[in-house]
Amino acid sequence: MRTRSGVLRGVVLLAVLLVSILVAAAVGSVAISPVNVGRMLLSRILGFDSIERTWTAAEELIVMQVRLPRVLLAAVIGGGLSAAGVLFQGILRNPLADPYIIGVSSGASLGAAAALLFFIPAGLGWYGTLPLYAFAGAVGATFIVYRVGLMHGRLHPTNLILAGVAVGALFTAMVSFMMVFKIQNLQDVYMWLMGSLSGRGWRQLGAAAPYVLAGSAVAVLFAPKLDVYLLGEETAHSLGIDVQRLQKQVLAIGALIAAACVAVSGVIGFVGLMVPHAVRIWIGPKHTRLTVYAFLAGAIFLVVADTLARTVFSPIELPVGIVTAMTGGPFFIYLMRRS
C-alpha cells in the first residue's frame, strides 16, 4: 500500500512538473497560451505537419529559442541541486548539509569571478567560457576540501564539513578581494554570485544536463546503500558495505552534479538544502523515493521561482537566488513548525 501511494505521488509530481514547464514557457512579456505551447512541442515531436499551426512564427521563436531552454534548464538545475542535497545530507549525516557544503560554490565563485574580472572581455561573459572557469573552480575546491578532510586515508564527515567551511571562507574572501580591485565588471559578478538563469539557452542546457541527469541517475542506484549507511558507519560495515568507498563515491557524484549546476547558473541557494528536507518530511527517509521525488520537486520549485524572477518586476529580472530564498525560507519555517 505504501509503495502504491508512493508511485501515485510520483506520477502527480511528474504531471505538475510538465504543467509548470508548459505554463512557464507561456508566461512572459509576450503572453502565449499554454495550450499553444503544448501543441508547438507536440508538432516538434510528432513532425511539423501533424498539428494545425494555431500560433505565429514569432511566438514559436520566443518559445523554442528563448523560453523553453531556460525553463528546461531551471528544471534540470533545480532537480540536480536537490538530488545532490539528498546525497550530501545522507553521506555527511547532517541535515544542514547542502550541495555547496564542501566548497563547490566558493570554488565556482572564485573561478567565475576571476574569469569575469580578468579573463573575459566585458559583455561576452555569459556566452563564452565562463562555465568552464566556474566548473574548474568548483572541482578544484572540492578536491582541496577532500584532501584536507582525509585523515590517515579515512574520511570523517565532521572534518570534511569544517574543511568546507574554512576553504569556503578563504575563497569567498579572495572573491571580495578581487572585486575591490576590479570594479568595472562588478554587476556581472554580483548577478552571478546571486545565481541567475537570465540569458541562458540551449547551449548551457546542453553543457549541464548530461552531468546532472547521469549523476542523478547514479544517485538513485546508490540509494539502497545510503539507507543502510544512515544506521551508522559501524552498522553499515557489519551489513556488508565498504563505508570508505561509499563516502568517496557519493561525494564525487554529488560534487559533480553541483559543479555542473553552479557552472551555468551561478550560486542558486536554498534549493539543495530545503527541497530534500521538505520531501523527507513528506515521504520519509528512504533514499530511492527521496532522491527521485526531491529531483522532481526541486525541478518544479526552480521552474516556478525562475518564472517569478523574470516576470514579477518585468522588465527588470531578479536573480533567481533571491526568489528561492524569499519564497523558500518562509515555506521551510512553516514546514518545520508543523512537523
Partner 1 sequence: MHEGRLIEFDRVSFAYSSEPVLEDLAFGLYPGQFVGIVGPNGAGKSTVLKLMNRLLAPSKGEVRIAGRSVSEYSLKELARLIAFVPQEPEYFPFTVRELVTLGRSPYRSGYGSVSPRDAEIVEEAMREAGVVEFADRPVDQLSGGERQRVTVARALAQKTPILLLDEPTNHLDIEHQLHICRLLQAKANAGMTCVAVLHDLNLVASYCHEVLVLDLGRLVAHGAPGGVLTPELVQEVYHVHIPDIRHPVTGRPVIAP
- Residue ranges in contact with partner 1 by CB under 8 A: 3, 93, 221, 224-225, 227-228, 230-232, 234-235, 237-242, 284-286
Please give the distance of CA 278 from its chain centroid, rounded to a whole number. 16
Closest among 311, 228, 218, 199 to 256, alpha carbons compared: 218
Residue among 67 and 225 whose Cβ is closer to partner 1: 225
The nearest distance, CB 313 to partner 1, in angstroms, is: 40
Mapped onto helix, strand or coil, the DSSP state of residue 74 is helix
The nearest distance, CB 217 to partner 1, in angstroms, is: 13
Residue among 226 and 318 whose Cβ is closer to partner 1: 226
Residue among 49 and 234 whose Cβ is closer to partner 1: 234
Residue among 1 and 316 whose Cβ is closer to partner 1: 1
Task: 304-310: list long-range contacts, CB under 8 Å, 24+ apart.
Answer: 304/20, 304/24, 305/74, 305/78, 306/24, 306/70, 306/71, 306/74, 306/197, 307/23, 307/24, 307/27, 307/71, 307/74, 309/196, 309/197, 310/28, 310/198
33: left (phi over 0), alpha (psi -120 to 50) or beta: beta
Instruction: Please answer whether residues 257 and 83 qualify as being in contact, where contact means their C-beta atoms are separated by less than 8 angstroms.
Output: yes
Mapped onto helix, strand or coil, the DSSP state of residue 77 is helix
The nearest distance, CB 6 to partner 1, in angstroms, is: 12
Q: What is the DSSP letter of 285?
A: S
The nearest distance, CB 3 to partner 1, in angstroms, is: 8
The nearest distance, CB 13 to partner 1, in angstroms, is: 21
Instruction: Please answer whether residues 99 and 302 qualify as being in contact, where contact means their C-beta atoms are separated by less than 8 angstroms.
Output: no
Q: What whole-number distance in Å separates Cα of residue 317 and Cα of residue 29? A: 12
The nearest distance, CB 239 to partner 1, in angstroms, is: 5
Q: What whole-number distance in Å separates Cα of residue 86 and Cα of residue 99? A: 8
Residue among 243 and 300 whose Cβ is closer to partner 1: 243
The nearest distance, CB 225 to partner 1, in angstroms, is: 8
Residue among 221 and 312 whose Cβ is closer to partner 1: 221
Cα angle: 209, vertex 211, 216; to 5 degrees: 95
Residue among 122 and 242 whose Cβ is closer to partner 1: 242
Residue among 227 and 317 whose Cβ is closer to partner 1: 227
Instruction: Please answer whether residues 149 and 159 qualify as being in contact, where contact means their C-beta atoms are separated by less than 8 angstroms.
Output: yes
Interhelix angle 186-194/104-114, rounded to 10 degrees, is 160
Q: What whole-number distance in Å separates Cα of residue 235 and Cα of residue 243? A: 10
